[in-house]
Amino acid sequence: MIAQYQPMRAIGLLTILLLAVIAGCTKQSPDPQSALRIAGARTLSSFDPPTPGEKPRPPQAIKFEQAELDAVLKLYAEISGRSIIRAANLPEAKITFANQTPMTAVEILQALDTVLASSGITTVFLGTQYVKVVSSKDASQESGPIIELEPNQLPDSSSFMIYIVKVKNVPSFQIAGALQPFAKLPNSIIVIGSGGNNPRAAKSNVPSIIPSTLFGPKDANLLILRDYSSNVRRMLQVVEKLDQK
């Protein structure tokens, strides 16, 4: 009995040792998807708050001199941590830009948004993983991010965004007409509510929606602004003045 037990015991110990080795190898070699999730844990957009403890990049750290668009978008992807989705009809552009002051990662994205917009190219953040790069004339057709920051927190940059404004004291179509000169993108102001069936709204070429089909009566005096952040910021300042009692 003892002679038969010893081999069985040895086989059992060998099995345990083999399993331990396999477990150790598995622990040292995580699956690629897990490693990818760790590496891409955070992405940035032009509307993110400052990162605590971030060290800004020094002056002249970014220097483009008649650079190809591909080089600029590569840097954009690296800083934002996002994948670039590039439209097929982008205009030809040579980008010139150098930072003269220290800039954080978010400030660099805001600067690149503005530089690209000056060449007819708009960046549109999609979710947390992508940024779509389109011709500026097509930007208003994109489902950009809805931003809920306070007006004074909006960046002074050409970062595309959507902002919904609840107008309290004045019919929204009246304010929409005053905002039109600040709009830089086509169809960037939409009236919901009081201007939906008002002939004055139609004359101002501002798109409008009749609220009864989508919204209750309490929400029937809204403006939807789809434009660059700096323009929306100015529009909101005008809305605040005009909507006073």
Query: Which pLDDT does position 14 carry in this prediction?
Result: 37
Query: What does the alpha-carbon distance between residue 203 and residue 196 come to, in Å, rounded to a whole number?
Result: 12
**164-178 average pLDDT score:** 91
Q: What is the pLDDT of residues 186-202, one digit of tens each?
A: 889 999 976 444 444 44
CA distances to 4, 186, 197, 237 from 189, rounded to whole Å, are 88, 8, 16, 15
Query: Which pLDDT does position 76 carry in this prediction?
Result: 98
pTM: 0.75
Confidence of residue 137 (pLDDT cuts 50, 70, 90): very high
Residue 192: count other Cβ atoms within 10 Å of its Cβ: 24
Query: Which pLDDT does position 94 carry in this prediction?
Result: 95
**Domain ranges within the chain, ordered by starting residue:** 63-140, 151-242
Q: What is the pLDDT of residues 208-234, one digit of tens each?
A: 544 444 445 555 689 999 999 999 999
Query: Which pLDDT does position 32 carry in this prediction?
Result: 32
**51-78 average pLDDT score:** 95
Provide the mean pLDDT of the chain: 80
Q: What is the pLDDT of residues 96-116, one digit of tens each?
A: 999 999 999 999 999 999 999
Of 28-32, 121-125, 175-179, 206-210, give the lowest mean pLDDT range: 28-32
Burial pattern 56-91, b for ≥16 Cβ within 10 A else e, equals ebeeeebebeeeebeebbebbeebbbbeeeeeeebe
* High-pLDDT (> 70) share of the chain, %: 72
Just give the CATH number of 63-140.
Answer: 3.55.50.30
